[in-house]
Amino acid sequence: MSLLTLREFGVARHQCDVLRNVELTIDSGEMVGIIGPNGAGKTTLMRGALGLLAHRGESSLAAMTPRERGRAVAWMPQAREIAWPVDVETLVMLGRSPHMGLGRRPTKTDHDAVARALDRMDLTGLRSRTATQLSGGEQARVLIARALAQDTPLLMADEPIAGLDPAHQIATMQEFASLASEGRSVVVSLHDLGLAARHCTRLIVVDKGRVVADGTPVDVLTQELIRDTFGISAFVQTTPEGLVVQPMGVVP
Amino acid sequence: MRLAVTLIALVAVLFVAALVTGPADIGPFESLLALIAGGEGPMPLVMREIRLPRALLAVLIGGSLGLAGAAMQGYLRNPLADPGLIGVSGSAAFGAVLAIQTGLAAAFALGLPLAALGGALFGVFAVLVLAGPRGSSLTLILAGIAISALAGAFTSLVLNLAPNPFAANEIVFWMMGSLADRSMTHVWIALPLILAGALMLATLSRGLDALTLGEDAAEAMGISLRRLRLTLIFGTAAVVGASTAVAGAIGFVGLVVPHLLRPFVGSRPGALLWASTLGGAAMLLAADIAVRIILPARDLKLGVVTALVGAPLFLHLIYRTRRDGL
């Protein structure tokens, strides 16, 4: 089942095309990585698809009512904002608000979803701590848990693993992959090509406002593409452990 | 839950205290009896026409300022935000000052509050035009500051051109804010607007909670930011405009009360709305009792007392925030 469809999709800002001619479909069970250099349009692609930016063409998510969209997709923006010193559990519970009626008493389903999300992000021990007093990486995990608690078929996250320690980077990517294996889909932007190669089932490469490649990591992450798009050389090899990509140096 | 009971009890006690406090020498039980039973003579008149409207207005206006302050702080995600920030109180005050200056206030009883409401309406309209229907909270703050500054400048101009010191005096005293000598008519002017505005602001609870995660995340969770912003502006304008029209400019309630109560609701901006409403009502009732007890012979102004109490309280809060290293 298609969770997101973009047709002839583009975003313009100040009469200047930031993103153009994007055609893509995200089906269920996919773990999609969006990669590309800084300023390529990764965030614009995601925010535009969500209907948070004025856009041209069609986006199945942007066409929904705000309430429907809140149940169809969870979005974790790049800016990790926690405005008030609320406790972790309260913050994660915010992810349940698209599911709650106006009476807004959390039901058992809501509490269960929050407990599951906290458990997935290894936060159960921190549940009653004040979110603003946690470290940056812990806050990032709390915000991922918030998005997980929303319990939507599609999860979109903008650089969710930036600033996490290696163990939590890998654990987070594995959690996303396990969501995908449960039949949900995850779309994440990231800069770590090694993690992208290892954990994603599909990679979409964005460069200068266009999608320049879209496919499995093995097909997409060739040395030519890495050189042309990122301007770096890389060690790329398929091993028994899977695809290994290690950036080596900047190509002059 | 315990907080709700405590605050409601506090408001109730202070409301009764406000009813039995005043220059007229009546015992507390006699006065309450006169209020309820009515009848002939000066006592029921004092209770029903002077003290009751005063206490009711303290509850309505204090609640309004507390609620609007909590909503504004929640929307801007800034504990220093104040309901006056969007320029409504400034432009309402200008409308009132104009009414005093032109003699409209003296010509008929409702001239002043109606002119103040007109000023508030004009201020809201100007802020909406300046800030645009979409756009971030930043444009709203900038528009509010611009309108506040402009209204303040016009108010100063009127004072500057006041024909005689008595007119200037009257304007200055009115601007300090007071609940003295208000009648039930003032209650009936303020009540519908405050109720309507408060209902609008009460619907923001969920949106403000979601805004804890930032505008982008809130919008993706199904909150229409555009609608939230319009509701906030109109709701604040209604409650603050009506309050200023009836009582003049009363500062610090909308700033200090939400700040003070925030730790008791776990910092949740939605829950802070009702807590702050009750807290604001309690603070203004207490301040209005203080006005009558401290200097009964001199007409001490309510806005002066709230500022005198509010500013040191605020300093203490800054000290506490610094100590917590936030």
Query: Looking at chain B, which residue has its C-alpha nearest residue A102?
Result: B206
Indicate yes or no: CB of B222 within 8 angstroms of CB of A98: yes
CA distance, residue A233 to nearest chain B CA (Å): 36
In chain A, residues with a C-beta closer than 8 Å to the C-beta of B222 are 66-71, 97-98
Do β-strands A185-189 and A31-35 pair in parallel, antiparallel, or remain unpaired?
parallel
Question: pLDDT by residue (tens digit) across A85-141?
Answer: 999 999 999 999 888 876 668 888 999 999 999 999 989 999 999 999 998 889 999
> Does residue B117 surpass a pLDDT of 60?
yes
> Does residue B40 surpass a pLDDT of 80?
no
Question: pLDDT by residue (tens digit) across A47-66?
Answer: 999 999 888 899 999 899 88
CATH number at residue A221: 3.40.50.300
Asked if residues B241 and B117 have their Cβ atoms less than 8 Å apart, the reply is: yes
Among the partner-chain residues B216, B217, B267, the one whose CB lies closest to the CB of A86 is B267
B172 touches chain A (CB under 8 A): no
CA angle B116, B122, B128 (to 5 degrees): 135
B109 touches chain A (CB under 8 A): no
Binding-face residues of A in 34-63 toward B, CB within 8 A? 47, 50, 52
Q: What is the pLDDT of residue A245?
A: 93
Q: What percent of chain A has pLDDT over 90?
A: 71
- With H, G, I as helix, E, B as strand and everything else as coil, classify residue A96: helix
Query: Looking at chain B, which residue has its C-alpha nearest residue A140?
Result: B213
Q: Per-residue confidence at A37, pLDDT binned at 50, 70, 90? A: very high
> Does residue B326 surpass a pLDDT of 60?
no
Do β-strands A185-189 and A232-239 pair in parallel, antiparallel, or remain unpaired?
unpaired
B262 touches chain A (CB under 8 A): yes
Indicate yes or no: CB of A75 within 8 angstroms of CB of B211: no
B224 touches chain A (CB under 8 A): yes
> Does residue B312 surpass a pLDDT of 80?
yes
Do β-strands A202-207 and A31-35 pair in parallel, antiparallel, or remain unpaired?
parallel
Q: Per-residue confidence at B275, pLDDT binned at 50, 70, 90? A: very high
B210 touches chain A (CB under 8 A): yes
In the numeric block, the tokens 């406000």 are attached to B18
In the numeric block, the tokens 């021990």 are attached to A125
* Prediction ipTM score: 0.88
Task: Tell me the DSSP string of B73-136.
Answer: HHHHT-TT--GGGGSHHHHHHHHHHHHHHHTHHHHSTTHHHHHHHHHHHHHHHHHHHHH-SS--
Range of A121's domain? 2-250
Q: What is the pLDDT of residue B325?
A: 62
Q: Which segment of A13-22, B116-125, B206-215 scores lowest on mean pLDDT?
A: A13-22
Indicate yes or no: CB of A97 within 8 angstroms of CB of B221: yes
Q: Give the number of domains in chain A.
A: 1
Binding-face residues of A in 171-230 toward B, CB within 8 A? none
Mean pLDDT of B278-300: 91
* Probe site for chain A from B72, B76, B203, B216 (most A CB atoms < 10 A): B216
* Probe site for chain A from B73, B77, B267, B274 (most A CB atoms < 10 A): B267
Indicate yes or no: CB of B213 within 8 angstroms of CB of A91: yes
Asked if residues B105 and B172 have their Cβ atoms less than 8 Å apart, the reply is: no
Indicate yes or no: CB of B214 within 8 angstroms of CB of A50: no
In chain A, residues with a C-beta closer than 8 Å to the C-beta of B211 are 83
Element of type H or E holding A84: none
In chain A, residues with a C-beta closer than 8 Å to the C-beta of B210 are 94, 97
Indicate yes or no: CB of B213 within 8 angstroms of CB of A98: no
Q: Whole-angstrom Cα distance, residue B244 to residue A252?
A: 67
Q: Per-residue confidence at B56, pLDDT binned at 50, 70, 90? A: very high
Q: What is the pLDDT of residue B155?
A: 92
Q: What percent of chain B has pLDDT over 70?
A: 98
Query: In order of start, what are the domains of chain B with their CATH numbers?
Result: 2-323 (1.10.3470.10)
Q: How many helices (H) and strands (E) does chain A have?
A: 9, 11
Q: What is the pLDDT of residue B175?
A: 87
A160 touches chain B (CB under 8 A): no
In chain B, residues with a C-beta closer than 8 Å to the C-beta of A75 are 216-217, 220-221
In chain A, residues with a C-beta closer than 8 Å to the C-beta of B72 are none
Q: Whole-angstrom Cα distance, residue A180 to residue A187?
A: 10
A76 touches chain B (CB under 8 A): yes
Q: What is the pLDDT of residue A252?
A: 79
Query: Looking at chain A, which residue has its C-alpha nearest residue B207?
Result: A97
Q: Which two tokens stand for residue A101?
A: 């009626």
